[in-house]
Chain A
Amino acid sequence: EDQVTQSPEALRLQEGESSSLNCSYTVSGLRGLFWYRQDPGKGPEFLFTLYSAGEEKEKERLKATLTKKESFLHITAPKPEDSATYLCAVNTNAGKSTFGDGTTLTVKP
């Protein structure tokens, strides 16, 4: 059974305090690992796709990395507007998608 586990469940940072979110996964036939951002009352919004171990993607203060068993979302010098829930998901050959429970990030000014 495909599984995605995210940690921590919640993370509180001061503005400018860098940190990382973790996503560990077990899946057969990985066809992509995704990071999404979800704001309260909204649907998830796509951030990154990673396909293979060693791959990295960057966007503004966010950088996603992938190994064979986990992915990290690094947040450098976060701002209050980075506060959101960050979701990790995997797609498989069969078309199924499995999401983690998310990490809720709060950045205090």
Chain B
Amino acid sequence: EAQVTQNPRYLITVTGKKLTVTCSQNMNHEYMSWYRQDPGLGLRQIYYSMNVEVTDKGDVPEGYKVSRKEKRNFPLILESPSPNQTSLYFCASSLYAGGGQPQHFGDGTRLSIL
């Protein structure tokens, strides 16, 4: 089954403790992206990757890191999480960047940072 898999689905942690949210897709997609979704603010793009070893900042990249060493994986790293990063995070992928390619989304990761 074609899917985008995020782990963990839920995480409660404390300020300053490094964490990684993994994202994997099995569709051989070139493009992958991370979003955060907050009440009243919609989906905001954090980082995106047009292909392996190519990453770019979205609208809200501060406090986050990403890497794209393999086509299928695009982990999101919070080196020193803070309470304002408490949010619902989505990973997405599409066949390629640009053009009319729709994105396929994971089921989300709910992060709470105390």
Contact = CB atoms under 8 A, between A and B. Distances in A.
B103 A97 contact: yes
Given A44-B43, A96-B45, A99-B42, A49 B102 contact: yes
A98 interface: yes
A45 B2 CA distance: 13
Interface residues of A, number: 26
Interface in B51-108: 56, 58-59, 90, 92, 97-108
Q: How large is the interface on B (under 10, 10 to 19, 20 to 34, 35 or more residues)?
A: 20 to 34
B24 interface: no
A100 B90 CA distance: 15
A57 to B, nearest CB: 11
A69 interface: no
Contacts of B106: 43
Contacts of A87: 42-43
Contacts of A101: 40-42
Nearest to B50: A95
B56 A95 contact: yes
A46 B104 contact: yes
Nearest to A97: B45
Interface string A40-61: 0111111001010000000000
Contacts of A45: 105
Contact of A98 (B40, B45, B100, B107): B45
Interface of B: 4, 31, 33, 35, 40-45, 48, 50, 56, 58-59, 90, 92, 97-108
Given A43-B105, A96-B45, 5 more contacts: A43-B4, A43-B107, A43-B108, A49-B101, A94-B56
